Structure 1
Amino acid sequence: MSHHRENDTSQIFRTLRNIDLNLLTIFEAVYVHKGIVNAAKVLNLTPSAISQSIQKLRTIFPDPLFIRKGQGVTPTAYALHLHEYISQGLESILGALDLTGSYDKQRTITIGTPPSIGAVIMPEIYKAMKHHFPQLLIRNIPVVDAPSQLGQFQTDLIIDSHVHTTRTLSHHVLFRDNIVLACRDKHPLLKSPVTVNALSAYEYTMLMTEGHALAHLQKRLYDLFPNRQVSFSSYNLFTTAALIGSSDLLGLMPGRFFAVAEKGWHLKALNFAPLEEEQIEFSLHYNKLSLRDPVLQNLISIIRQTF
């Protein structure tokens, strides 16, 4: 243990020796004043000098740190992490400069998920992270625009059911889930054979989705339920489950979510044979440049192993 700490300390000092500490002052000025021009005025430097300093920092850290936004810049998720240490003083700076991936320094990892998917997968991810990397913290945020969030490094990882084809992104399928036809407890259909004609007598909920892969799935589901009358649609599976549990509405949802929702909203699964072949994929997405960061690289591997 002592030898490991000595090696870590030596690596930190070697990293620190290669950094002009004035660069960290410039980093903090750009962060606080939200722009290169404003930072230049505060430090009495030219905008060109500030830009060159930020470029030097980008060669040291595995991240672009700041992304242009309007007339200013916005910090990446990694820059937020770095700022927390720099603002606390030299001792914390030494911790932030540990790029060896030894995981003995506190750091916040930002993971984007839709709310319902987060409820299903985040407990497993949290358990795995705390087992392997106990010093890491998790920030879970909504997915607004995955390619933009990952492309601009505002989010470290995103997990959803879409396919994002941007060349700068990579993805891995974490798991495939069956599609469940759900109804409320004591629904009339539970007492009779579930046929196409019987299903056509009831109204449905629909989950609003985007993405080419889900568009194909929606088409196949339309073929299975050609007379489906949708009277309620929502972007949120929690809301959909609540409606199904309090009415005679029927709804389709992934099996893992159904397992979470069935107790809370007293749901039942209807056995409809043609639906048994349908599945939906859930994938982990990240910026390819994130693999330069040993923390994220190993975390991606752990999450894939977890599922």
Structure 2
Amino acid sequence: MATDDPIIDLRGHDLNLLVVFAVLMREQNVTRTAGQLHMSQAAVSAALGRLRRLFGDPLFVRAPGGMAPTAKARRLQVPVRRGLDSLKVAIAGEPAFDPEHSSTVFRLGMSDDLEALLLPGLIAQVTATSPDSSVFCLQANRMTIAGLLESGQVEFGVSAAAAWGPEIHSRTLFASRYACLYDPRTLRRRGPLTLDEYVALPHVMISADGTRGIVDEVLDSENLTRRRIASTAHFAMVPLLLASSPAIATMPRHAAEVFATQLGLEVCEPPVDLPQFTVSALWHRSSAEDPRVRWLVGQLCTLAHRLVPGSP
């Protein structure tokens, strides 16, 4: 009799092959995978052959320095990793986490305006409390962070609020708004800008795709335009561009104040009505019970409360 029971369907498969697959995805090298699993290279190669027959796909192809996953392997990565994590918890229980004796690598995704505000303090907090742990940050924004969390490339995200689906859990860290930033040495002035000055001055735009920004949307509603002389996808480039051009930039205030303090730049309120927004810590629901996740989210909340007065 046919059945759809997944437990019955699994009886004919060696689930240890999925362990080999997960490590191959991480290492992308047979030799390193063999070392990680205390197996011979021949045994790993044999397991890869069985995986290829099981999934009807090469899964990995030769590449400089090792092997590159195919599109199907990348699609399999998340369900396999989560399935193995669930089995591990089912067998061994939820792992304990002792920060003082842990050597965890915390992988975060966030944009560089948030790195400017949070990363120095987060590194200091983590290394003071968990000396053998590390903080690795990948470039992300609110359009890409959900994909990084779902793929497992990062365990945490920090991003401006968006319409996250049910798979992404979040906690508000702080509220922010926009500000103008300029170099008083190149612009030869200080203090706030009038609307006429704001529109007349050259602008450095920060845009992931080099098209438009929130400023353009607001100015359009008032039948105004600005003169954009440059665009960059990286907030950290803005101070360098402002140092060489008599221009202004409009960016999140939390980053503008960091750059102003460190580099002697001027911050002022924009003479247009730009929206406020919230910044949140993010994690995938599959890791919601992981004590490492709960601990780092707590570290982020503590840090945000210290850096941004009035944070939750």
TM-score, length-scaled by structure 2: 0.63
- The one-letter amino acid of 2:259's match is A
Alignment deviations for residues 260-286 of structure 1 (CA, whole Å, 9 cap, x no partner)? 2225554212455555x7434322111
Separation (CA, whole Å) in 2 of partners of 1:281 and 1:209: 19
Shift of 1:236: 0.8
* Stretches of structure 1 lacking an aligned partner (at least 5 in a row): 1-21, 52-67, 83-95
Matches within 5 A, 1:100-249: 100-103=96-99, 104-143=101-140, 145-161=144-160, 163-186=162-185, 187-188=187-188, 190=190, 194-209=193-208, 219-220=217-218, 223=221, 226-249=224-247
Counterpart of 1:285 (choices 279, 282, 285) is 282
Shift of 1:195: 2.2
Matches within 5 A, 1:80-91: none
- Give the corresponding residue for 2:63: none
Separation (CA, whole Å) in 1 of partners of 2:129 and 2:223: 45
- Give the corresponding residue for 1:70: 71
Shift of 1:226: 2.4
Rate the CA distance shift 1:132–1:180 in 2: closer, same or farther, 3 A: same
Separation (CA, whole Å) in 1 of partners of 2:165 and 2:241: 36
Q: Is the 8 A contact 2:174 2:278 kept in 1?
A: yes
Alignment deviations for residues 102-153 of structure 1 (CA, whole Å, 9 cap, x no partner)? 3323121111122332132111222222344333221112227322211121
- The one-letter amino acid of 1:42's match is A
Q: Tell me the secondary structure at the aligned position of residue 197 of structure 2.
A: helix
Separation (CA, whole Å) in 2 of partners of 1:292 and 1:49: 35
TM-score, length-scaled by structure 1: 0.64
Rate the CA distance shift 1:47–1:252 in 2: closer, same or farther, 3 A: closer
Separation (CA, whole Å) in 2 of partners of 1:29 and 1:233: 42
Rate the CA distance shift 1:50–1:99 in 2: closer, same or farther, 3 A: farther
Rate the CA distance shift 1:295–1:259 in 2: closer, same or farther, 3 A: same
- Give the corresponding residue for 1:3: none
- The one-letter amino acid of 1:171's match is S
Percent identity at matched positions?
13
- Give the corresponding residue for 2:58: none
Separation (CA, whole Å) in 1 of partners of 2:152 and 2:213: 27
Separation (CA, whole Å) in 1 of partners of 2:219 and 2:298: 33
* Stretches of structure 2 lacking an aligned partner (at least 5 in a row): 1-13, 31-41, 56-68, 85-91, 305-312
Q: Tell me the secondary structure at the aligned position of residue 247 of structure 2.
A: coil
- State which drifts further: 241-250 or 182-191: 182-191
Q: Is the 8 A contact 1:128 1:303 kept in 2?
A: no
- Give the corresponding residue for 2:35: none
Separation (CA, whole Å) in 2 of partners of 1:252 and 1:149: 27
Rate the CA distance shift 1:292–1:218 in 2: closer, same or farther, 3 A: farther
Rate the CA distance shift 1:125–1:225 in 2: closer, same or farther, 3 A: farther
Q: Tell me the secondary structure at the aligned position of residue 200 of structure 1.
A: helix
- The one-letter amino acid of 1:182's match is L
- The one-letter amino acid of 1:239's match is M
Q: For this pair of structures, how many residues does the alignment match?
A: 247
Separation (CA, whole Å) in 2 of partners of 1:257 and 1:152: 28
Counterpart of 1:303 (choices 278, 300, 303) is 300
Shift of 1:204: 1.0
CA RMSD in angstroms comes to: 4.1
Rate the CA distance shift 1:117–1:222 in 2: closer, same or farther, 3 A: farther
Q: Is the 8 A contact 2:17 2:51 kept in 1?
A: no
Q: Is the 8 A contact 1:206 1:232 kept in 2?
A: yes
Rate the CA distance shift 1:153–1:44 in 2: closer, same or farther, 3 A: closer
Separation (CA, whole Å) in 1 of partners of 2:203 and 2:147: 33
Q: Tell me the secondary structure at the aligned position of residue 193 of structure 2.
A: coil
- Give the corresponding residue for 1:27: 19
